[in-house]
Amino acid sequence: MKRFILTTLLLLSPIFAISTAIYYNEIRNNKTVLEIQAVESLKGQTEQIINEFTYIVSDLMFLAEQNELQAFLNNSSAHQRENLAKEYLLFSARKRLYDQIRFLDQAGMEIARVNFNAGNPFIVPTSQLQNKGKRYYFRDAFMLEREEVFVSPFDLNIENGQIERPLKPMIRFGTPVFDSRGQKRGIVLFNYFGARLLKKLAERAASASSHIMLLNAEGFWLKGIVPEDEWGFMYKNDRHRTFGNRFPEEWQQISKTESGQFSTNNGLFSF
């Protein structure tokens, strides 16, 4: 019996060895496939963001040089202002990408503004136009040169000091406006619906085999694994909800490098 068992083990050893080798080779192959899929998924997400931003910037440049705006700059009459606002109204209705479209003069005063109003855009009456000269987005956009573009942080819209409900993710895009003599006369400003971008990223991630997350520079989730983690920087009681607090070791590597891929006990991270 002992001889039989020993002989059997000797005969089976090569089979066990081959099976083990095949098993671990399969694991390595699966890991390699997963790594490649993750990188390709990230490339697609990055391209989506670039394409969307390119589209927005082209709209911005168009409005910064449009004839109705130049006509207003040459003759700042009420009639020319009305024509400009009507063009913004039509642009808003057709594009459906922007919560607000505005032209602000060199002092930060709103000259023409259209609100999308949940799909029923309207021209804001002149009596309700406001001076935004002290807002960071006006200052940062107005200091730029021709064809340079200001892009704000990605955050939630605030109305009357409160986070708007339902949540309205927002990115502001602005560029300076110059008249026919080359003098800087103000800025054109968009409030872009950030939910559109998040939706497109989610659609691209639907077939991915991993979780897709979008973080800001401080490591707060703009798109997280669970909605409760998102926009923590907007809420006083949620500022602990960061990728760095959840994954401190991984955040140390990610925050120091532009791109990469590595594995830890928490899984495979590609960024």
- For 206-223, the pLDDT digits (tens) are 776 778 899 999 999 999
The pair phi, psi for residue 228, each rounded to 5°, is -60, -25
Cα→Cα distances 197→49, 201, 224, 259, Å: 7, 6, 14, 21
- Residues of 230-241 as b/e, b for ≥16 C-beta within 10 angstroms? bbbbeeeeeeeb
pLDDT along the chain (271 residues), means of 10: 74 66 66 86 90 96 95 92 96 96 97 95 95 94 96 90 90 96 96 93 77 92 92 93 95 92 93 94
- For 80-104, the pLDDT digits (tens) are 999 999 999 999 999 999 999 999 9
Predicted pLDDT at 122: 97
What is the DSSP-derived secondary structure letter of residue 258? S
CA proximity to 188, closest of 134, 128, 114, 78:
114
Predicted pLDDT at 201: 87
Predicted pLDDT at 80: 94
CA proximity to 104, closest of 180, 172, 158, 174:
174
Predicted pLDDT at 22: 64
| CATH T-level assignment (fold) for domain 54-196 | Beta-Lactamase (3.30.450)
Q: Which amino acid is at 181?
A: R
Predicted pLDDT at 56: 97
Domain borders along the chain are 54-196, 213-258
Is 191:99 a contact under the CB 8 Å cutoff? yes
Largest CA distance in the chain: 109
Predicted pLDDT at 37: 87
Predicted pLDDT at 5: 74
